[in-house]
Amino acid sequence: MLRLGTVGTGWITQQLVEAAAMSGRFELAGVYSRSVEKAQAFARKNQAEQAVTDYQELLDLKGLDVVYLASPNSLHFNQALKAIRQNITVIVEKPAFSNPQEMAAIMAALADHPQAKLFEAARNVHTPNFHAVARALSGLPAVQGASLTYMKYSSRYDQVLDGGEPNVFTREFSGGALQDLGVYPVYLAVALFGVPAQVNYFPTLIQTGVDGKGVAVLRYGTYDVTVNFGKTSNSVAPSEIYGLKETVEMDSAGELTQVGLRQDGQKLTDLSAQPLVNPMLPEVQDFARVLEDPVAETNVADYHRWLLWSQQVNQVLYGLRVAGNLRFPADDHE
């Protein structure tokens, strides 16, 4: 069993812990929160061995194999770096890091500590439906672009409208729509089409100084991928990949709960797998597989592909921020 520690006590951490339990390959060694009450309550609920309020104490737990980071975005870098330097594998919520400088430092630390690994929790590209989309894409006679949408109203935006500044909507914590829901369609684009030759971003700024929603254009030379995302409104628009007479359809670039192929405008052929009991289960199973047998050829190839995607997505997100004139305090740190 892999011994897991968690940072954060929100719903996403709860979902990860439940997925880890479903996999049967993790045991919850410890829970960290700055609030002792939250740490203890989360630990009781999930039968964790210990609840701590000091991050170093979490890393020092006996036999800790993996730490999961669901802290505010700007905290990921230092927390991940400390773990890697103790040869502890990191699963970090998306976006992994604020900029390419942080990513480069993490890659250097991984090179110095080969026992540790880094996994970015971009759940959509680990699902069976993502693989179904990739297979459908490979069968298209030509690709003429895509339109990817993921837009969900955030309850935290209510706080912004009331004059507050929740972490997810602040520059201090590297927040905003691109750094949250926007990561999913960008991941999908990079995983399916590669790194774009050119990017542009048209953000809609909110009163906290970050983007509440926006439209990105990823240029691939012969075609464009348009990405539409946001946290200040809802969209039910599907996502599509365009062939010639064929269209690969997805209900959402972030969730990928329903996917299909439509040929020449005819009836949609459903390519969807069975609904997931927990949307994080496929990624948790993937990460555990690699950690349990890190030298197997397939596992080595998968891990390096996921790590490359993480670096490429980091590069694209930063390029989009530069294009949209969005800067974070994390960009000024060496």
The DSSP string of 137-201 is HHT-S----EEEEEE---THHHHHHTT---GGG-TTTT-SSTTTTTHHHHHHHHHHH-S-SEEEE
Please say if the pLDDT value at position 72 is more than 90: yes
Report, as an integer, the average pLDDT of 206-227.
Answer: 98
pTM reported for the whole predicted model: 0.97
pLDDT in tens, 23-34: 999 999 999 999
pLDDT in tens, 133-172: 999 999 999 999 999 999 999 999 999 999 999 999 999 9
Residue in 115, 3, 107 with CA at minimum distance from that of residue 60:
3
pLDDT in tens, 282-329: 999 999 999 999 999 999 999 999 999 999 999 999 999 999 999 999
Q: Where are the domains of the chain?
A: 2-118, 126-278+315-332
Residue 265: predicted pLDDT: 82
How crowded is residue 235: how many other Cβ atoms within 10 Å of its Cβ? 15
Residue 334: predicted pLDDT: 60
Please say whether the dihedral angle defined by the alpha carbons of residues 243, 177, 69 and 316, taken in this order, is positive or negative.
positive
Residue 252: predicted pLDDT: 96
How does the average pLDDT of the chain come out, rounded? 97
- Calculate what percentage of the chain has a pLDDT beyond 70: 100
Q: Which fold, 126-278+315-332? A: Dihydrodipicolinate Reductase; domain 2 (3.30.360)
CA dist 118 and 77 (Å) reads: 12
pLDDT in tens, 106-140: 999 999 999 999 999 999 999 999 999 999 999 99
CA dist 315 and 334 (Å) reads: 17
Residue 333: predicted pLDDT: 76
Report, as an integer, the average pLDDT of 42-57.
Answer: 97
How crowded is residue 138: how many other Cβ atoms within 10 Å of its Cβ? 8
Residue 328: predicted pLDDT: 98
What is the Cα 189 distance to its own chain's centre?
13
Residue 255: predicted pLDDT: 95
Q: Please state the three-class secondary structure of 50-68 as a single string.
A: EEECCHHHHHCCCCCCEEE
CA dist 75 and 224 (Å) reads: 33
Residue 105: predicted pLDDT: 98
CA dist 217 and 197 (Å) reads: 11
Instruction: Name the superfamily (CATH) of residues 2-118.
Output: NAD(P)-binding Rossmann-like Domain (3.40.50.720)
Cβ 279 vs Cβ 123: under 8 Å? yes
